[in-house]
Amino acid sequence: MEKVTLKVSGMSCGHCVKAVEGSVGELNGVSTVTVNLNEGTVDVEFNASEVSLDAIKETIDDQGYDVA
């Protein structure tokens, strides 16, 4: 299991939290995803043999947010 903290801009409200946590949380191989609105970060625990970090970043991007 790997753990990463991504810097993500554009998340501003509870709906954004749900959009990111919901979409990333649905990916196979992702075990936990936690958005911190104040910090503008997304913590993700995932199994790198099942899902790539790029796929996780792309999923967040697809929701309309910029991953640093």
Q: x/- string (CB under 8 A) for a second copy, residues 39-68?
A: -------------------------x----
- For a second copy, the closer CB: 5 or 12: 12
Torsion of CA 53, 56, 62, 67, to 10 degrees: -60
Per-position x/- string for 4-43, each x denoting binding to a second copy as judged by CB under 8 A, each - no binding: ------x-xxxxx--x------------------------
Distances (CA, A) of 41 to 4, 19, 46, 50, 62: 10, 14, 16, 22, 16
Summarize as ranges the residues that interact with a second copy (CB under 8 A).
10, 12-16, 19, 64
